[in-house]
């Protein structure tokens, strides 16, 4: 098993890939951290901090390039923020958290695979109720699991033919940012915001560098489809491992 000293290198690679497709990397941060850390409050808090670092870069770029459209995005955001805050405040047992985390990772891995297998989609408009419902449900899951939610929202919107991939990616980036911040506030209010100060700054530097490079490569249309598929397989494996270990006592 890899030593914890290798985490910055691993997280640099994760941030590089995820930022190139408008994600923060929360699902993979959780997956990897769950292999090294036992304090699940620390795992959630650390993943959200790193999410914020990565997607802030992408959000700034999307806003500067005028891809961000508040008129299209606001229903997803206003319904998700309070539910992400509520979800983060839920105090779960270690077993409950890891089972939810494992299931979330499996779903996110499958969603990521569908994202890379999908054909080109035709855009269609969503009703206000549909946007509010989708944003709220993903926001709640984001708060409970410690994932920003973009990895669920983005593939879903692509599969439902909502808009072009670039518009979806810009929404996912902003969605992750606001819900990660909301989730951190929820953890703080609940008294479960915990992190290792000696470890966090190393990981922050790693993901900022990786996120910056990933955003640059994204603008250069760098193809990371194969790496995306491999990452999805890793996320699904760790999710299955957590569910089997904490739900059935099976270690694989």
Q: What is the pLDDT of residues 17-28, one digit of tens each?
A: 888 777 788 878
Three-state DSSP class for residue 163: coil
Residue closest to 108 by CA, chosen among 15, 19, 236, 241: 236
How large a percentage of the chain has pLDDT more than 70?
A: 88
* Residue 246: per-residue pLDDT: 83
* Residue 219: per-residue pLDDT: 58
Angle at CA 200, nearest 5°, toward 197 and 201? 95
* CB distance 123 to 164 below 8 Å: yes
* CB distance 208 to 57 below 8 Å: yes
Q: Residue for token digits 């989609």?
A: 121
> CB 160: neighbour CB atoms within 10 A?
13
Domain regions of the chain by residue span: 11-248
In tens, the pLDDT along 202-211 reads 999 999 999 9
* Residue 9: per-residue pLDDT: 93
Q: Which residue has the higher pLDDT, 147 or 83?
A: 83
Q: How confident is the model at residue 224 (pLDDT cuts 50, 70, 90)?
A: low
**Residues in Cβ contact with 125 at an 8 Å cutoff, skipping those fewer than 6 apart:** none
* Residue 231: per-residue pLDDT: 66
Q: Does the pLDDT at position 232 exceed 80?
A: no
pLDDT (average), residues 216-245: 71
Residue closest to 21 by CA, chosen among 244, 222, 232: 222
Looking at the whole model, is its pTM more than 0.85?
A: no
Report for 91-95, 156-160, 177-181: range of highest mean pLDDT: 177-181
């Amino acid at each position: 098993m890899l030593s914890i000293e290798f985490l910055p290198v691993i997280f640099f690679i994760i941030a590089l890939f995820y930022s190139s497709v408008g994600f923060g990397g929360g699902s993979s941060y959780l997956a990897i951290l769950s292999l090294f850390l036992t304090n699940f409050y620390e795992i959630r808090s650390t993943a959200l901090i790193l999410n914020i670092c990565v997607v802030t870069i992408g959000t700034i770029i999307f806003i500067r390039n005028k891809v961000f459209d508040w008129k299209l995005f606001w229903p997803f955001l206003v319904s998700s923020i309070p539910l992400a805050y509520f979800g983060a405040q839920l105090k779960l047992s270690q077993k409950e958290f890891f089972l939810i985390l494992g299931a979330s990772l499996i779903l996110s891995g499958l969603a990521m695979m569908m994202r890379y297998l999908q054909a080109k989609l035709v855009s269609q408009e969503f009703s206000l109720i549909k946007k509010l419902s989708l944003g709220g449900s993903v926001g709640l899951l984001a708060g409970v699991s410690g994932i920003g939610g973009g990895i669920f929202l983005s593939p879903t919107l692509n599969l439902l033919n909502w808009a072009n991939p670039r518009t979806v990616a810009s929404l996912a980036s902003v969605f992750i940012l606001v819900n990660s911040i909301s989730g951190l506030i929820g953890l703080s209010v609940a008294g479960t915001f915990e992190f290792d100060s000696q470890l966090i700054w190393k990981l922050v530097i790693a993901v900022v560098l990786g996120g910056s490079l990933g955003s640059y490569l994204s603008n250069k249309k760098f193809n990371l489809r194969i790496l995306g598929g491999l990452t999805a397989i890793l996320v699904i494996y760790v999710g299955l491992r957590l569910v089997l270990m904490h739900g059935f006592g099976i270690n694989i």
